[in-house]
């Protein structure tokens, strides 16, 4: 009798464990706020913070490197290094290669009382070099380790 009861308790416990473990996993591992577009950045030597979390869709031609990121609407946030305001168009396009983003279109930064279009980004050791035409500015990559959230937009949009 006693051993039967013990076995029942053990079985119930095991069953609960089996049922609850996946739930626990799901609760402790919420989806990270990054997407496969962010993974692609990482794979090419860039920090994930170059793209906001609001990526709705993206496409990349692995032959040409041509990419297109759909942010589902315009997106603004403050860049960490110098608190410049960055403005992303609903669609950001360019060409992605190892350590190099070229022909970039859709990212502007407000600095020195005007909007500057970022035309290219290079990864140079621990630094990122932002190109605005022939002018460039260098920032430590670690400033861009976190994925920014679009200001004034609900996360569900």
> Is 71 in contact with 92 (CB distance < 8 Å)?
yes
Spatial distance between the Cα atoms of 149 and 129, rounded to a whole number of angstroms:
22
Q: At closest approach, how far in Å is the CB of 59 from ligand NAG?
A: 8
Q: Which is nearer to ligand NAG, 65 or 72 (CB)?
A: 65
DSSP 8-state class, residue 31: P
For ligand NAG, the closer of residues 36 and 61 by Cβ is: 61
Nearer to ligand NAG, 91 or 141 (CB): 91
Least spacing, CB of residue 67 vs ligand NAG, in Å? 11
Question: What is the rounded CA–CA span in Å between residue 138 and residue 129?
Answer: 4
Residues at the interface with ligand NAG (CB under 6 A):
61, 63-64
Q: How far is the CB of 63 from ligand NAG (least distance, A)?
A: 4
95 Ramachandran zone, left/alpha/beta (phi>0; psi -120 to 50):
beta
């Amino acid at each position: 009798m006693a051993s039967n009861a013990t076995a029942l308790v053990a079985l119930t416990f095991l069953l609960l464990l089996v049922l609850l473990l996946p739930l626990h996993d799901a609760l402790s591992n919420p989806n990270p706020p990054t997407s496969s577009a962010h993974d692609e950045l990482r794979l090419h030597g860039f920090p994930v913070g170059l793209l906001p979390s609001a990526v709705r869709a993206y496409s990349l031609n692995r032959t040409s490197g041509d990419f297109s990121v759909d942010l589902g609407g315009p997106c603004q946030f403050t860049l960490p290094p110098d608190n410049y305001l960055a403005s992303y168009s609903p669609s950001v396009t360019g060409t992605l290669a190892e350590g190099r983003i070229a022909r970039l279109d859709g990212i502007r930064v407000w600095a020195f009382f005007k909007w500057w279009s970022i035309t290219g980004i290079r990864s140079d050791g621990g630094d990122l070099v932002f190109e605005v035409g022939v002018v460039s500015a260098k920032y430590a990559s670690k400033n861009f380790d976190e994925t920014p959230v679009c200001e004034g937009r609900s996360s569900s949009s």
